[in-house]
Amino acid sequence: MRTRTRRTVLAIAALTVVTGCQAAGDPPAGRTGLPAAPADPREFTLVASGDVLPHTSVIERAQADAGGDGYDFRPMFAGVRPVVSGAGLAICHMETVYGGDGDYTGYPTFKSPPQVAEGLAATGYDACSTASNHTLDDGAEGIRRTLDALDRAGVRHAGSARTEAESGATVMRAGGATVAQLAYTYDTNGLPLPQGRPWAVNLIDPDRIVADARAARKAGAEVVVVSLHWGTEWQDEPDERQLALSEQLTASRTNGRPDIDLLLGTHAHVPQAYEKVNGTWVVYGMGDQIAGEMTNHQGVTDPRGNESTIGRFTFAPPAHPGGRWEVTKAEFIPQAYDLDAGRVVDLNAALAQGADVGGVRDRIRSVVLSRGAAKDGLVMGQ
């Protein structure tokens, strides 16, 4: 059954590369993945997606897509390009570091081809969080190569650093807002920080996160987005630390204004719930956007490891100077990585074109809404 579904998706994925991602699922037919034009020109949409985790099979697919000469990751992302490129600000999570001179490896110590950065840029991503448990897989050199490649591709980054000066917030413009991105990880798989470089990777520390958010706000950020690599692998539900930390961070305020405007989670390998906590949207886990075949802790191949969501949030300017930019629309878009095709698939688009993916789409929706986000306005986007 799983193979048959993937073969069907393969045909759909090939079609969407040419035609783009048509809207699907519950929404009316004929709509596109692009958000509607904002009522206020200062408004903007922010999209965010989960872990990019190139296992050996993913690297081999990119090599095949390049015709055996180098690596081309652009076709892999083509199915979600309309959603990503249509946003005012698009954020990914680059979980692995890049290798050099053909030295590329998958699990357990990842070194990915730097051409991943070119694929991300071509898809429309503006920035990536780079703090994860794999950030130190190749030490300080791995960080340098990764950030150098992202710079060459024009993709901003937050969470790891070549110098102490770049270890803070990454500041960008979207619509009429100045947006700061901060990123942190729970651990580095026990690998020590490089000697003399305690700032190389940002580790989760609630007090530091709040201090960094306040510093970014003081420096002019109107919207502060925090990316967190956290949670328990293979667990659909957020764990106790996620719940406690989200409560603490979203409760932090300065002069009555929240210090953080959006929390984006990665790491668990599976989609997790969205929830509004203290008036702030929290995505506990978006799942793996790109990964090879995944085996869970029971040693069983688990298709959830290739399922994920894109979060899309529309921000509107405050009603009065110094007020908060408010999320006026919150959406999630279910997607999956088709192992046979080597393509990210927008499941709503695939379903509209006849692929047998309704069960997968509905499972993701059930998990995303499991903590009552629908009552706060979260809807499945197109």
Query: Quick one: pLDDT at residue 38?
Result: 61
The mean-pLDDT minimum among 8-22, 120-134, 236-250, 363-377 falls in 8-22
CATH code, 343: 3.60.21.10
For 24, list phi and psi in degrees, rounded to 5.
Answer: -160, -170
Query: Quick one: pLDDT at residue 206?
Result: 98
% the chain with pLDDT above 70: 90
User: Alpha-carbon distance 204 to 253, whole Å?
Assistant: 19
Whether residue 22 is predicted with pLDDT greater than 50 in this model: the reply is no
Contact 69, 122 (CB under 8 A): no
Position 321 confidence tier, pLDDT thresholds 50, 70, 90: confident
pLDDT in tens, 87-98: 999 999 999 999
Whether residue 25 is predicted with pLDDT greater than 70 in this model: the reply is no
Q: Which CA distances in Å does 65 have to 81, 84, 99?
A: 17, 21, 19
Please tell me the number of Cα atoms within 13 Å of 158 on its side-chain side.
26
Whether residue 31 is predicted with pLDDT greater than 50 in this model: the reply is no
What does the pLDDT average to over 189-214?
98
Q: How many CB atoms lie within 10 A of CB 191?
A: 16
Pick the residue with more confidence: 101 or 95?
95
User: Alpha-carbon distance 266 to 272, whole Å?
Assistant: 9
What does the pLDDT average to over 280-298?
98
pTM score, whole prediction: 0.91
Q: Which CA distances in Å does 357 have to 2, 6, 346, 351?
A: 10, 9, 10, 6
Look at residue 62 and give its three-state secondary structure: helix
Q: Burial of 69 by CB count in 10 Å (0-12 exposed, 13-18 middle, 19+ buried)?
A: exposed
The mean-pLDDT minimum among 35-49, 106-120, 239-253, 289-303 falls in 35-49
User: Alpha-carbon distance 324 to 317, whole Å?
Assistant: 7
Query: Quick one: pLDDT at residue 266?
Result: 98
Q: Which CA distances in Å does 31 have to 83, 87, 188, 329?
A: 12, 16, 42, 17
| Sign of the CA dihedral with 65 first, then 58, 60, and 115 last | positive
Whether residue 14 is predicted with pLDDT greater than 90 in this model: the reply is no
Looking at the 3D structure of the chain, how many domains does it have?
1
Position 175 confidence tier, pLDDT thresholds 50, 70, 90: very high
Residue 257 β-bridge partners: 254
- With both helix axes pointing from N to C terminus, report the angle between 56-65 and 115-123 in degrees, rounded to the nearest 10: 70
pLDDT in tens, 295-317: 999 999 999 999 999 999 999 99
Position 41 confidence tier, pLDDT thresholds 50, 70, 90: confident
Q: How many CB atoms lie within 10 A of CB 154?
A: 12
DSSP 170-189: EEEEETTEEEEEEEEES--T
The mean-pLDDT minimum among 19-28, 94-103, 115-124, 258-267 falls in 19-28
What does the pLDDT average to over 284-292?
98
Whether residue 372 is predicted with pLDDT greater than 70 in this model: the reply is yes
Q: Which amino acid is at 370?
A: S
Whether residue 273 is predicted with pLDDT greater than 70 in this model: the reply is yes
Dihedral angle, C-alpha 104, 106, 107, 110, nearest 10 °: 50
Residue 379 β-bridge partners: 331
Query: Quick one: pLDDT at residue 340?
Result: 96
**Mean pLDDT estimate for the chain:** 91
Query: Quick one: pLDDT at residue 261?
Result: 98
User: Alpha-carbon distance 330 to 322, whole Å?
Assistant: 23
pLDDT in tens, 206-241: 999 999 999 999 999 999 999 999 999 999 999 999
User: Alpha-carbon distance 30 to 23, whole Å?
Assistant: 6
Q: Which token pair is 323?
A: 């007020």
What does the pLDDT average to over 163-185?
97
Position 127 confidence tier, pLDDT thresholds 50, 70, 90: very high
Whether residue 21 is predicted with pLDDT greater than 60 in this model: the reply is no
Whether residue 17 is predicted with pLDDT greater than 80 in this model: the reply is no
Q: Which amino acid is at 318?
A: P
For 312, list phi and psi in degrees, rounded to 5.
Answer: -130, 125
Whether residue 27 is predicted with pLDDT greater than 90 in this model: the reply is no
Whether residue 365 is predicted with pLDDT greater than 80 in this model: the reply is yes
Contact 50, 380 (CB under 8 A): no
Q: Which token pair is 134?
A: 């794999």
